[in-house]
Amino acid sequence: MKMRRRQRGQRGFAMAALLVVLAIMSLMLSMALPVWHHAAQREREAELIFRGEQYARAIMLYQRQTPGAYPPDVDTLVEGRFLRRAYRDPMTAGGEFRLILQSELSEFGGAGGDGSPAGGASPEARDGTRRSEDDAGDRPGFLQGVRPFANRDEREPGGVAGNIAGVVSRSEEASIALYKGQSKYSDWVF
C-alpha cells in the first residue's frame, strides 16, 4: 500500500514539473517569435527585390532585341525567354505584381515610347531639367516616382493603356528596409 501512495505523489510532481517546463518553453518561444517574423519579412523583401529586378532586366533585354518597343504582356517575356517564369509578388496573398504601363512613362519623366528619355529625342526633360543618359531606362529601377494604374483596365482617355514598362508590388505595407529611398512596397518600382 505504501508503495502505491508514493507513486501517486511522484506522478503529481512529474506533472507539475512538466507544466513548469512547458510554461518556460512557451515564454521563450513568445520572445523568439517577433525575431523570426522580422527575419521572414526581411527574406520576403529580398525576394521581392530579386523578382522585381528580374522583371526590369527582362524588359531591358526585350528592348535590346526590339528597339523602342515594350513587351505587350508578361507571357511575351516568358515565351521569348527574357524571363524564366512569371514571378509572384511575395508581399501579397494574391501574388500578382501591378504592371506599370508604357503610357504612364511620359507623365512622370521616364523613358518614352521610342526608348529616349522623357519621350523626346533630347535628354532635356519637359520640365526643363537635364537628365543623364543613365535615366533612359537601360537599367533596373529607372522608373522613379511612377504611380502605376491599379490594373490594366484603368486606361487613359484614348482607350489604350500601352505595353509593360515595369512592375511594382500591390502591397501598401511599410517595409523594414529602404529600396531606393522608398519605405512602402507599393513605391518600390522595378
Domains of the chain by residue range: 42-187
pLDDT category at 174 given cuts 50, 70, 90 is confident
pLDDT at 130: 36
The stretch 133-162 carries a mean pLDDT of 45
* Higher-confidence position of 127 and 110: 110
Percentage above 90 pLDDT, the chain: 17
pLDDT at 24: 92
Q: Which residues of 120-144 are buried (b: 16+ CB within 10 A; e: fewer)?
A: eeeeeeeeeeebeeebbbeebbbbe
pLDDT (tens digit, 9 = 90+) per residue, 74-88?
898 989 899 889 899
For the chain, give the number of residues.
Answer: 190
pLDDT at 47: 92
pTM: 0.60
Amino acid at 18: L
